[in-house]
Amino acid sequence: EEVKSLNFIEHIIEEDLKTGYGSDQLRFRFPPEPNGYLHIGHASSICLNFGLGLKYNAPVNLRFDDTNPAKEEKEYVEAIKKDVAWLGYEWDTECYASDYFQQLYNWAVELIKQGKAYVDSQTSEQIASQKGTPTEPGKPSPYRDRSAEENLKLFEGMKNGEFKEGEHVLRAKINMASSNMLMRDPVMYRILHKAHHRTNTDWCIYPMYDWTHGESDYIEQVSHSLCTLEFLPHRELYDWFLDQLVSTDKLRPKQREFARRNLSHTVVSKRKLLQLVTSGVVAGWDDPRMPTISGLRRRGYTPESIKNFADTIGIAKRENVVDVSLLEFHVREHLNKIAPRVMAVLNPLKLVITNYEEGKEEWLDAENNPEDESAGFRKVPFSRELYIEQEDFREDANRKFFRLKLGGEVRLKNGYIIQANSCTKDSEGNVIEVQCTYDPKSKSGSGTEESLRKVKGTLHWVSIPHAMTAEVRLYDRLFTDPTPDGHKDKDFMDFVNPDSLEKITGYLEPSLKEAQVGDQFQFQRMGYFNVDKDSTKEKMVFNRTVTLRDTWAK
Ligand code: ATP
Ligand code: MG
Ligand code: MG
């Protein structure tokens, strides 16, 4: 097996193991806020945290960072659990920051008693106006020196619902002159008269992220709390809060940061993805064009392909945009190994084999997957009238056209060598039928000299009387620009590709009638496809996951 070098997070962990941490003290967490569905950026974080869990045989918690009842919902909690499990990871404990509300409240009371937190009764605008600038210190609030008694009374009143939203906040009393703006008396609690999806109306004050996150890590005894780079300046505050409370006999969590992963031609932000859903640009969070895990699953991506992608890009210290073609490469690579091959014609042209008996049918042997011997064979029907792709025929073409042309020969996959003799056109000059003859001795796999004869092209086809029709959904990129949210003067919605979905009728070999929702196939020469959840027995629906080759490559 290939030896992988350690990434910088693993170096930190190895160092910690050498200098005091017991290997049984390692613990990680993946901490989504349940305010949307997980996307491909989250997959990086999931693979990082759960990957470390596997590597160090350490537990990984799934922690819902559910401190904002205004945006969070149970639907999102369920979707997140489904997605993490689908990726193949098992969490140790399912945790909720909301389970710590009472503990956090008690600790906040302690801070007030120690003179390290106070109730500020200014508006949020007033507070913001006193923050100062990175080079100029902030102005202290006129309420900064309230007595502990008064603060305790007001804070309890806040908790008991005696005040309206915005009337008071609880702030940590740190340093209004700190060079780190986040240390200038950050807000710890705000009043929100909103029901929470788990605590219902038990609380009307809700803790802020910075106050909650490190303390939650401490409660769960997470050793390494890994987050994205925008939290780097928050680390000082994370540490300050822990300094006030941590007892020395317990493990002290560490926050460490890695770069966000962005994917080209899409947006990876729940807020923006929600906008695509609510504006109707896509049909839902799991629309196959979405970079959500549920969208990728519905599109036909496998957990392996997503994990291999995350593994390949690894983690970094600097933000960058990863080209979506790398993600496509990984799904192509995995589906090549596992997807059965079938024949389907998406843009049909009728072909008549004039020397093949009318009404006759044959069931030919077709190999299911040349990459997997155990996949075996199936039967495909052959008859006098077939469909091939329009693109596979030209009346007249140069020597480099290895498909069918008048006077030329090709092999029909799993079948015979045919020669095109003439064609029929409609009044506009479009070819609507090609007349061919076949060589009866050239049947694939029959072992005859003719069957071994090499011809340049091999085409896929379906027998017209046996074909089943299905709706086939072809996808293009959801955005026309590689970085839709990277423009100062334009909104990402301005770059939505109006042609990202095309629905066509495909003609499929009849074995596909048995396919179930989610089943994956290679439509030979056309790409990888799966059965969409909109599929019914009467009308099957297939999604194209990806084409066979990177058609966008420069
Ligand atoms: P969004 O902006 O999409 O809401 P978020 O960071 O607010 O992202 P969280 O639910 O808080 O979403 O994320 C859970 C974890 O996943 C966090 O540790 C976060 O840092 C990480 N994460 C989110 N987006 C990415 C990304 N694009 N690349 C890597 N990690 C990410
Ligand atoms: Mg977040
Ligand atoms: Mg967010």
- Would you give per-residue pLDDT tens digits along the chain (554 residues)? 556 789 999 999 999 999 989 989 999 999 999 999 999 999 999 999 999 999 999 999 999 999 999 998 999 999 999 999 999 999 999 999 999 999 999 999 999 999 999 999 999 999 999 999 999 999 999 999 999 999 999 999 999 999 999 999 999 999 999 999 999 999 999 999 999 999 999 999 999 999 999 999 999 999 999 999 999 999 999 999 999 986 778 999 999 999 999 999 999 999 999 999 999 999 999 999 999 999 999 999 999 999 999 999 999 999 999 999 999 999 999 999 999 999 999 999 999 999 999 999 999 999 999 999 899 999 999 999 999 999 999 998 888 899 999 999 999 999 999 999 999 999 999 999 999 999 999 999 999 999 999 998 999 999 999 999 999 999 999 999 999 999 999 999 999 999 999 999 999 999 999 999 999 999 999 999 999 999 999 999 999 999 998 654 43
133 labeled part of a ligand binding site: no
- Ligand 1 atom closest to the CA of 273, numbered from 1: 3
**Are the C-beta atoms of 220 and 95 separated by less than 8 Å?**
yes
What distance in angstroms lies between residue 263's CA and the mean position of ligand 3's atoms? 17
How many whole angstroms separate alpha carbon 180 and alpha carbon 289?
Answer: 40
Q: Which of 219, 221, 222, 231 is nearest to 49 (CA)?
A: 222
Residue of 37, 45, 96, 321 best suited for mutating to test ligand 1, as the one with most atoms within 8 Å of CB:
45
Cβ < 6 A, ligand 1 pocket: 31-33, 41-42, 44-45, 65, 227-228, 260-261, 268-270
Give me the CATH code for the 344-460 domain, please.
2.40.240.10
Measured from the alpha carbon of residue 313, the closest ligand is 1
- Looking at domain 8-258, its CATH architecture is 3-Layer(aba) Sandwich (3.40)
Both tokens of residue 201? 């109306």
What is the model's pLDDT at position 554?
33
- Ligand 1 atom closest to the CA of 32, numbered from 1: 10
**Ligand 1, atom 29, residue with closest C-alpha:** 260
Both tokens of residue 279? 């504006």
How many of the other CB atoms lie within 10 Å of CB of 303?
18
β-strands 520-523, 458-459 pairing: unpaired
What distance in angstroms lies between residue 32's CA and the mean position of ligand 2's atoms? 7
Match 């699953």 to its residue by tokens.
Answer: 297
β-strands 28-30, 417-425 pairing: unpaired
How many whole angstroms separate alpha carbon 110 and alpha carbon 116?
Answer: 9
- Map residue 38 onto helix, strand or coil: coil
Residues with CB under 5 A from ligand 2 (ion): 33
Write down the domain spans for the chain.
8-258, 270-340+470-546, 344-460
Say whether 73 is catalytic: no
pLDDT digits (tens, 9 = 90+) for 455-493: 989 999 999 999 999 999 999 999 999 999 999 999 999
Could you tell me the pTM of the whole model? 0.95
**Are the C-beta atoms of 52 and 28 separated by less than 8 Å?**
yes
433 labeled part of a ligand binding site: no
- State which amino acid sits at residue 312: T
458 labeled part of a ligand binding site: no
Number of helices followed by number of strands (H, E) in the chain: 12, 29
* Residues 181-186: contacts with CB under 8 Å, at least 24 apart: 181/131, 181/132, 181/134, 181/233, 182/210, 182/233, 182/234, 182/236, 182/237, 183/236, 183/237, 183/240, 184/131, 184/132, 184/138, 185/120, 185/138, 185/140, 185/141, 185/144, 186/210, 186/211, 186/237
**Residue 73 burial class via C-beta count within 10 angstroms: exposed 0-12, middle 13-18, buried 19 and up:** middle
- Map residue 60 onto helix, strand or coil: strand
Half-sphere exposure of 472 (CA within 13 A, CB side): 22
- Ligand 1 atom closest to the CA of 272, numbered from 1: 3
**Are the C-beta atoms of 434 and 350 separated by less than 8 Å?**
yes
Measured from the alpha carbon of residue 208, the closest ligand is 2
How many of the other CB atoms lie within 10 Å of CB of 267?
25
What distance in angstroms lies between residue 489's CA and the mean position of ligand 3's atoms? 23
223 labeled part of a ligand binding site: no
Q: Which of 78, 117, 124, 77 is nearest to 97 (CA)?
A: 77
User: What residues contact residue 165 under an 8 Å CB cut-off, 6+ apart?
Assistant: 190, 191, 192, 193
**Ligand 1, atom 8, residue with closest C-alpha:** 269
**Ligand 1, atom 4, residue with closest C-alpha:** 270
**Ligand 1, atom 16, residue with closest C-alpha:** 42
What is the model's pLDDT at position 20?
85
Give strand pairing partners of 470: 506
200 labeled part of a ligand binding site: no
Which homologous superfamily does the CATH classification assign to the domain defined by 270-340+470-546?
A: Glutamyl-trna Synthetase; Domain 2 (1.10.1160.10)
Say whether 379 is catalytic: no
Using CA atoms, how far residue 92 sits from 30, 50, 62, 384, 407, in Å, is 11, 10, 7, 60, 67
What distance in angstroms lies between residue 11's CA and the mean position of ligand 1's atoms? 22
Measured from the alpha carbon of residue 36, the closest ligand is 1
Say whether 94 is catalytic: no
